[in-house]
Amino acid sequence: MMALPERSLNAYLRIDSLPEYQNFSYHFDYVTIIMALLFIFYIPSFCCTIKMLTFLLKTRTQSDSKDIHPYVFKSFLCMQLSNHIAVIFDYIVARIPNTSLVTFYFSSFNPDNIFKYFVAALYLFNYISQLYTVLFCFVRVLILFYPRTHSKVSFHICIVVFKIWSFVSFIFSLAASFPHIIHDFVGIQLDFPFQYGAIALTTTFAYGKYFQVMADFIFSAIVIICIVIMTSMMLMKMRNLKLM
């Protein structure tokens, strides 16, 4: 029978309560290589999104494109931009700390005032990104199901839905992420397969709180269900159109 791997020393404990981390020194391991490769592979996607944004800014005063619906493009671009911002904050509060590169800094200086805002920003843009994904799927289905004779109607519906959904998504995401700002920042030691000194940054609002985990799980589950349903509707409609 294969033996279970041993848990890392101080796994899931706060490093600010353990003075030994103030003498910690960085040790290179495979996690650093993985994070570096992920960053390199991430660059092309980021560059493509910037080009899309540049294209939108250059053509926003021109007549609407006949190749792609403007609100399909806008909702997709908003989804991508918010996701990229979330990834940047994820590098700050998770991926780089996972390498143990900044463990000494966080254990010695305890930069509470700055990094709890980064944690809140990660949650904020992660929620916004998921909600814009739902909007993107909805706009696709709306356009596909509306006949061409009602194209103006669907266009005006898209305008209203886009503005209302954007506003509601921002308010909801801000309300859900704001508690992290009014709670203390903490760094926690990660378990195997991460090495000793590999940490993740969070706040006391999320640390060890079952409610936060369940709330995130339920939110993500609802988003996934909405995406699956609307994507299935789109595929069924496209299949019916091909059979006609």
Highest mean pLDDT among 1-10, 12-21, 47-56, 66-75: 47-56
- Which residue would you say has higher pLDDT here, 137 or 2? 137
Q: What are phi and psi of 113, to 5 degrees?
A: -65, -25
pLDDT tens digits, 137-194: 999 888 888 755 456 777 788 889 999 999 999 999 999 999 999 988 888 898 888 8
pLDDT tens digits, 102-153: 888 887 776 667 888 999 999 999 999 999 999 999 998 888 887 554 567 7
Q: What are phi and psi of 185, to 5 degrees?
A: -85, 140
Residue in 137, 172, 139, 145 with CA at minimum distance from that of residue 241: 145
Q: Which pLDDT value is given to residue 1?
A: 43
Residue in 117, 121, 91 with CA at minimum distance from that of residue 185: 117
CA–CA distance, 176 with 44 (Å, rounded to integer): 31
Residue 8 reports pLDDT greater than 70: no
Residue 213 reports pLDDT greater than 80: yes
User: Among residues of the chain, what percentage have pLDDT more than 70?
Assistant: 89
Is 195 within 8 Å of 11 (Cβ atoms)? no
